[in-house]
Structure 1
Amino acid sequence: MTSADPLLAIEGLSAGYDAGDVLHDISLSVAPGEFVCVIGANTAGKSTLLRTVSGLVAACGSLRFDGTELVGLAAHRIPGLGIAHVPEGRHVFPDMTVDENVMLGAYAVRKSARLAERRDYVLDMFPRLRERLTQRAGTLSGGEQQMVVIGRALMLEPRLLLLDEPSHGLAPKVVDDLHDTFLAVSRTGTAILLVEQNTALALSVASRGYVLESGRIVLSGSAEALAGDDAVRTAYLGL
């Protein structure tokens, strides 16, 4: 892959469930180290898009990561390629400790000599978790649980981080902290594909974005251009 090639390249992708396709002829890309967001209404298909990248939804078309075709690839092989997925809903293992939850994220790279270094990186990113390492994850606040699942994903040292509605249900102060965290992760060179219903947040952190409506991409451009688009401002920013 040359520097001009996208890290993630999706072309003509359709995907869905038994009841039918949710995504229709999707084409988008994420360059190495780029921060891209996908915005849209609650039923637009944003989560399905990330689940398709992770191999959890049947698809047709092309979905290539660093030149490797992901369509048809078993889901358990995808994290080993360098893709970490933080699903919506803060899925911690409630009876396991914070430390155990975080370390599970390194399963695909468990033989790496960098695990201790990576753990320190995650705990430096989320100092509150360092204070709660032996605490059961199910006893944490919603914001702290979100730190756990993001930290768990970062243990993989991903080249591409998939974030699904990370601000949902969180207090404004926690959302602001996550804003800073995502920017810090992006500055390390990790590419991020963020799907968000919080359009203001998404466009404030991403450099480029796509608008998804009824499973189709209807608009794309720089985050600045999308934030200034009258249709986006009316439909998603309430302006």
Structure 2
Amino acid sequence: MTTATALLAIRNLDAGYDGVAVLHDIALSMDAGEFVCVIGANTAGKSTLLRTISGLVAAKGSISFQGEELVGRPSHRIPGLGIAHVPEGRHVFPEMSVDENVTLGAYSVRGASDLAQRRERVLEMFPRLRERLTQAAGTLSGGEQQMVAIGRALMLSPRLLLLDEPSHGLAPKVVDELHDTFLTVSRTGTAILLVEQNTTLALSVASRGYVLESGRIVLAGTSAELSDNDAVRSAYLGL
């Protein structure tokens, strides 16, 4: 893969908050439809990376998406390019119904003619949500709220789905369900960039990955290569 043909190409990226650098000289790329993960410790800068792609963090360098430069672009313009971001912590609108939460995901494409079909695809993927369409999202379990957050993002029909710690705080059974969901989404042709502390989950679903330490990418390779790497096995897989 070359950055010239990549769906997402990040080069020489520095980013941080209030003048404090968090990411340093990041280089990362991925093709259309590819499933890539970023693994690392809790303070490695994984969430900052996704927030920077979404235009929520000041940055220097280049983030190219389908040939469009994202650095300096207002964050509210990013979804319209085909990038959907599921932040850590789910962030549903608790007093709104499940249906209202999911439908909000299509706000930036509200004129699209296929919104009903998009909604139906989400409900087919998450049948539990169909049973709870009129229920307030804040009354759902953590796993169900994560389904709402992912379903809301999929209403955009994104070219790229950014997933930030989707398994955090969830029961193992729900994590297994999400594992299957991510693979289903990937098979539709949607590219996924997943950041996870759950390294086992990340490497089981992604085709390749990057290791982020203290804001710098220190390793990259296929998921099989990273799983077999002694440093990764010791630091992140507990082996």
* 2:107 equivalent in structure 1: 107
For residues 84 and 114 of structure 1, the distance between their equivalents in structure 2, rounded to whole angstroms, comes to 18
* 1:214 equivalent in structure 2: 214
CA shift, 1:90, in A, is 1.2
Q: Deviations over 1:116-143 (max 9, x none)?
A: 0000000000000000000000000000
* 2:60 equivalent in structure 1: 60
* 1:174 equivalent in structure 2: 174
* 1:74 equivalent in structure 2: 74
For the 8 Å contact 2:3–2:9, the answer to whether it is kept is no
* 2:51 equivalent in structure 1: 51
Residues 1:185 and 2:185 are matched in the alignment: yes
Secondary structure (helix, strand or coil) at the match of 1:11 reads strand
* 1:151 equivalent in structure 2: 151
Structure 2 regions of 5+ residues with no counterpart? none
Distance 1:207 1:142, change over 3 A: same
Secondary structure (helix, strand or coil) at the match of 1:192 reads strand
Secondary structure (helix, strand or coil) at the match of 2:11 reads strand
CA shift, 1:3, in A, is 11
Q: What is the TM-score of this pair, normalised by structure 2?
A: 0.98
Q: Which moved more, 1:121-130 or 1:18-27?
A: 18-27
For residues 92 and 220 of structure 2, the distance between their equivalents in structure 1, rounded to whole angstroms, comes to 33
Structure 1 regions of 5+ residues with no counterpart? none
For the 8 Å contact 2:3–2:29, the answer to whether it is kept is no
Secondary structure (helix, strand or coil) at the match of 2:200 reads helix
Q: Deviations over 1:98-122 (max 9, x none)?
A: 0000000000110000100000000
Secondary structure (helix, strand or coil) at the match of 1:133 reads coil
* 1:12 equivalent in structure 2: 12
Secondary structure (helix, strand or coil) at the match of 1:203 reads helix
CA shift, 1:159, in A, is 0.2
Q: Deviations over 1:31-85 (max 9, x none)?
A: 1000000000000000000000000000000100000000000000000000000
What number of residue pairs does the alignment pair up? 238
Moved over 3 A (4+): none
Secondary structure (helix, strand or coil) at the match of 1:12 reads strand
Q: Deviations over 1:151-182 (max 9, x none)?
A: 00000000000000000000000000000000
Identity %: 79
Secondary structure (helix, strand or coil) at the match of 2:202 reads helix
For residues 222 and 197 of structure 1, the distance between their equivalents in structure 2, rounded to whole angstroms, comes to 17
For residues 191 and 118 of structure 1, the distance between their equivalents in structure 2, rounded to whole angstroms, comes to 17
Q: What is the TM-score of this pair, normalised by structure 1?
A: 0.98
Secondary structure (helix, strand or coil) at the match of 1:9 reads strand
